[in-house]
Amino acid sequence: KAMCSGKLQTALLVAGYFVYLLVGAAVFQALERTAEKQEKRAAAQMKEAFLQNFTQLTVAEMEQFMKNLIEAIQNGVYPVGNESQLEESNWDFSNSFFFAGTVVSTIGYGTLHPKTAGGQIFCVFFALFGIPLNIVFLHRVGKMLSLLCKKLGKFLYEKGMRKKKIKFLTLLFFLATGILVFLCLPSVFFQITEGWSYSEGIYFAFITLSTIGFGDYVVGKQSDRKYFSYYRVLVAIWILFGLAWIALLFNL
């Protein structure tokens, strides 16, 4: 009964956690998408006006253009390419889910952020409840993984191995497995999908899972590459379980 109850609690927690992220993603998308379209149109008009008059601009006008351009880029609007790119949104569902995951995990790359008053206020409350929920989720997943450690330890103990050696081998096994699953293999995936070098993929994976999140490398941000649907959702799920693995290592 206790085991069934524990499994039910874990299932409900995992389901509730992902529902929380899905609802958060939907709200961020609804609040931010319209404002982003307006920003993109303004940036496109600014670019068009510059191309028509750049030979006649004064130094002051040129500096103002540079300030506007920098501000647009800081807001995640890149005025490059043709008008069809206006339809591509930083706040589609995949990007919104990815953003929600980086908020509750406290990574905070800084390359995507809410700009409307509603989005900013919602982000405060979403993080306020989401960060503790994320800690509970990681703790529970880490606990499930630690049960695997115990089973492995029990198996080795029955084979006549000493406890100190079992502890060392268990830690080594989960360290090596985690490095392979959460660092080495994803880096190959990022190398293929993003066009980064393998070392850049390793660097991104470590900076992300350690929650440092500089924001110098972020997935799905290159305008000249085509990404498959829900690419960033998949990356967000990798981040969440990667964080659980790191939590397990600390426990071990």
Mean pLDDT for the stretch of residues 146-169: 83
* pLDDT at residue number 112: 87
* pLDDT at residue number 151: 84
* pLDDT at residue number 248: 79
Q: DSSP letter for 76, please.
A: T
Residues in CB range of 230: below 8 A, 6 or more apart: 94
Percentage of the chain lying above the pLDDT 70 cut: 96
Tell whether the model's pLDDT for residue 168 goes beyond 90: no
Phi/psi zone of residue 18: left (φ > 0), alpha (ψ -120 to 50 degrees), beta? alpha
* pLDDT at residue number 40: 83
All structural domains of the chain with their residue ranges = 1-250
Mean pLDDT for the stretch of residues 26-45: 88
* Ramachandran angles phi, psi of 247, nearest 5°: -60, -40
Q: How far is CA 245 from CA 3, 68, 138, in A?
A: 22, 43, 9
Q: Model's pTM, two decimal places? A: 0.84
Q: Give CATH for domain 1-250.
A: 1.10.287.70
* pLDDT at residue number 3: 60
| Locus of tokens 């299932």 | 11
Q: Compare 71 and 100 and report the one with higher pLDDT.
A: 100
Percentage of the chain lying above the pLDDT 90 cut: 41
* 78-136 pLDDT, tens digit each: 777 665 555 678 899 999 999 999 999 999 888 888 989 999 999 999 999 999 999 99
- Asked whether 207 and 214 are in contact (CB, 8 A), the reply is yes
Tell whether the model's pLDDT for residue 43 goes beyond 90: no
Mean pLDDT for the stretch of residues 149-156: 83
State the DSSP string of 17-40. Answer: HHHHHHHHHHHHHHHHHHHHHHHH
Stretch among 70-74, 107-111, 166-170, 199-203 having the lowest mean pLDDT = 70-74
What is the torsion angle, in degrees rounded to the nearest 10, for the CA atoms of residue 104, residue 106, residue 107 and residue 110?
90
Stretch among 5-19, 57-71, 192-206 having the lowest mean pLDDT = 57-71
Q: DSSP letter for 184, please.
A: I
* pLDDT at residue number 28: 96
Averaged pLDDT of the chain? 87
Residues in CB range of 198: below 8 A, 6 or more apart: 187, 188, 191
